Amino acid sequence: MANALFASGRAKFLEGSIAAGTDTLRVFGADHADDNPNTSTDDFLDDIATAARVPAGTDGTQTAHSALASKTTTAGTLDAADTTVSALTGDQFESFILYKGTLTDTTSPLIAKIDTATGLPFTPNGGDLVVVWDAAGIFTL
């Protein structure tokens, strides 16, 4: 598959319920052996099995997922500073999932699935993972 925006996430941008420049956007790895997120039908974080989320976090909360920093939205393109996930452990994962973090899984809309990045699939080894976003931006609406 190719990188894609979640259908419901696109709608939420159009409805104004996602403001990428000011909302907390988070990222995690998705282990497709546990759950392969569907960009056509999945809409909120609770649609992705907890077992598929890397890192899962010791308490299973969204705070285990790294927040994007220094976000920009120039000309409809979302960009951010490279994201570091410290001491990453867990299952191998095949994609990154970007979502709006509300700290409640049933109200955290899914935004993008990135599965063509260099280094995917990735197997955590307890070290830091630096997600280097594309120089052209993460995605353009």
Q: What is the pLDDT of residues 52-81, one digit of tens each?
A: 999 975 555 788 899 999 999 999 999 999
Q: What share of the chain is helix, strand, coil (3-state, %, to 5)?
A: 15, 30, 55
Could you tell me if 115 and 95 are in contact, meaning their C-beta atoms sit under 8 angstroms apart? yes
- Residue type (1 letter), 114: I
Model pLDDT for residues 73-127, shown as the tens digit of each residue: 999 999 999 999 888 988 999 999 999 999 899 999 999 999 999 899 999 999 9
Q: What is the pTM of this model?
A: 0.95
Per residue in 31-53, pLDDT tens?
999 999 999 999 999 999 999 99
Give the amino acid at 94.
E
Mean pLDDT of 11-34: 96
Residue indicated by tokens 């709006």: 100
Query: Is the distance from CB of 47 to CB of 40 less than 8 angstroms?
Result: no
